[in-house]
């Protein structure tokens, strides 16, 4: 008979490829998020609007369905145009803000609360990989909420309408894609920076909303007092809206931005200003992250 003793064995096996190791962080974060029933439900609920849109597109092109609705002949119930897609983007992006505010705070602060980051970085794992891993969590979640359904709907409409429609309206697709990405990057960086700096999770979530609504209110106040439009620079939703309008329509503006992301005509600011402010915001967030994410603190 053999008796086995529990002992330490060295590891002689294979290692996982170094380049994709940051995804370990992402995978664990998703496993943790999955445990929250609220988040699961919220996430599923966020697909309602795209689903309704898909139905609308389907109904538009399905004569028998139209007949059912009793509106023969009027085959343009709702026009599938810029406004349609901008509304989709706007609505989903607002939901994305909520998602980031729920998910963001719990990404980095638990690792900093008890100094676990020192252990992360004591492994063949760099700060960049850590941030990339955490960013991926938000990027994947928010992408699936915004441009992925958007592009799918675009493809659906294109399938119904034909290739010429698609090439004519290619701007819609690129606008959806790029517009969503800009919003995702801003949200993700902001969420992570707040998570790294603010320990109490509800406070971090609240600050996410604060950055948008409070700053917007401040901008509106500036506008009123100074009788100018430059206060809009504080209003991130305005900035995003302006950029979206530019992406979707170029020079011929017909819309006022998207729902929640209003960019009223007549109150425009130069586009490069909008880009600058957003870039500055992103850089500030990156700086905040680099300050907090280190292996060890040096106290002078």
Partner 1 sequence: MEPVIELDGLEVRFGGRPILKNLTASLTGRSIGLLGPNGAGKSTLLNTLLGFHAPSGGTARVFGRDIRTHAREVRGLIGYMPENDAFIAEMSGVRFVRLMAELAGLPRGHALERAHEAFFYVGLGEVRYRALGTYSLGMKQAAKLAQAIAHGPKLLFLDEPTNGLDPPARTRMIQLIQEIRDRGDLRLMLSSHLLRDVEECCDEVLILKDGHIAAFCNLAEERRSNRRFLELETRGENNGNFLAAIERLGCQTAAGAQGRLKLVLPEGLEVSRLYEIASEQNVQIRRLSHKRDSLEDIFLKAMETADGRL
181 binds partner 1 (CB under 8 A): no
Total Cβ atoms within 10 A of residue 193: 25
Whole-number minimum distance, CB 202 to partner 1, in Å? 16
Q: Please give the DSSP secondary-structure letter assigned to residue 231.
A: G
Q: Please give the DSSP secondary-structure letter assigned to residue 13.
A: S
Phi then psi for 141, rounded to 5 degrees? Answer: -60, -50
Give the residue from 83, 256, 261, 276 showing the smallest Cα distance to 180: 261
Alpha-carbon torsion (245, 246, 249, 253), positive or negative: positive
CA-to-CA distance for 197 and 117, rounded, in angstroms?
14
15 binds partner 1 (CB under 8 A): yes
Whole-number minimum distance, CB 13 to partner 1, in Å? 6
Position among 1, 2, 225, 298 found at the interface with partner 1 (CB under 8 A): 298
Strand partners, 261: 258
Between residues 107 and 169, which has the closer beta carbon with respect to partner 1?
107
Between residues 132 and 178, which has the closer beta carbon with respect to partner 1?
132
Q: Tokens 């998910």 correspond to what residue?
A: 103
Whole-number minimum distance, CB 140 to partner 1, in Å? 19
Between residues 124 and 162, which has the closer beta carbon with respect to partner 1?
124
Between residues 49 and 120, which has the closer beta carbon with respect to partner 1?
120
Task: Tell me which stretch binds partner 1 (CB under 8 A): 4-12, 51-59, 235-243, 284-292.
Answer: 4-12
118 binds partner 1 (CB under 8 A): yes
Between residues 227 and 300, which has the closer beta carbon with respect to partner 1?
300
Task: Tell me which stretch binds partner 1 (CB under 8 A): 3-11, 53-61, 88-96, 251-259.
Answer: 3-11
Spatial neighbors of 272 by CB under 8 A, at least 6 apart, are none
9 binds partner 1 (CB under 8 A): yes
Give the residue from 150, 4, 25, 5 showing the smallest Cα distance to 84: 150
Position among 3, 16, 225, 270 found at the interface with partner 1 (CB under 8 A): 16
18 binds partner 1 (CB under 8 A): yes
Site for partner 1 in 27-66 (CB under 8 A): 28, 32
115 binds partner 1 (CB under 8 A): yes
Task: Tell me which stretch binds partner 1 (CB under 8 A): 15-23, 64-72, 77-85, 271-279.
Answer: 15-23
Spatial neighbors of 17 by CB under 8 A, at least 6 apart, are none
Give the residue from 129, 131, 142 showing the smallest Cα distance to 108: 131
Q: Please give the DSSP secondary-structure letter assigned to residue 233.
A: G
CA-to-CA distance for 1 and 15, rounded, in angstroms?
35
Question: Which positions touch partner 1 (CB under 8 A)?
Answer: 6-16, 18, 21, 24-25, 28, 32, 110-111, 113-116, 118-126, 294-296, 298, 300
């Amino acid at each position: 008979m053999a008796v086995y003793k529990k002992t330490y064995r060295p590891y002689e096996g294979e290692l996982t490829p170094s380049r994709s190791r940051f995804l370990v962080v992402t995978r664990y974060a998703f496993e943790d998020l999955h445990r929250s029933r609220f988040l699961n439900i919220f996430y599923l609920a966020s697909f309602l609007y795209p689903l309704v849109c898909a139905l609308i597109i389907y109904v538009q092109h399905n004569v028998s369905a139209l007949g059912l609705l009793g509106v023969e002949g009027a085959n343009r119930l709702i026009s599938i145009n810029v406004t349609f897609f901008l509304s989709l983007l706007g609505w989903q992006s607002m939901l994305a803000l909520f998602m980031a505010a729920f998910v963001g705070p719990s990404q980095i602060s638990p690792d900093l609360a008890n100094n676990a980051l020192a252990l992360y970085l004591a492994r063949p794992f760099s700060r960049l990989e850590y941030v990339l891993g955490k960013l991926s969590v938000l990027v994947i979640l928010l992408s699936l909420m915004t441009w992925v359904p958007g592009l799918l709907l675009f493809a659906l409409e294109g399938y119904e309408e034909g290739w010429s429609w698609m090439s004519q309206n290619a701007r819609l697709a690129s606008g959806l894609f790029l517009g969503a990405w800009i919003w995702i990057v801003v949200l993700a960086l902001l969420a992570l920076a707040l998570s790294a700096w603010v320990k109490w999770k509800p406070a971090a979530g609240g600050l996410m909303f604060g950055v948008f609504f409070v700053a917007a209110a401040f901008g509106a106040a500036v506008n009123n007092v100074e009788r100018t439009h430059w206060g809009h620079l504080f209003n991130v939703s305005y900035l995003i809206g302006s950029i979206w309008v530019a992406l979707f329509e170029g020079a011929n503006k017909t819309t006022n931005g998207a729902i929640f992301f209003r960019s009223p005509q007549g109150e425009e600011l130069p586009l490069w200003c909008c880009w600058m402010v957003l870039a500055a915001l992103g850089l500030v967030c990156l700086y905040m992250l680099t300050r907090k994410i280190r292996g060890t603190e040096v106290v002078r």
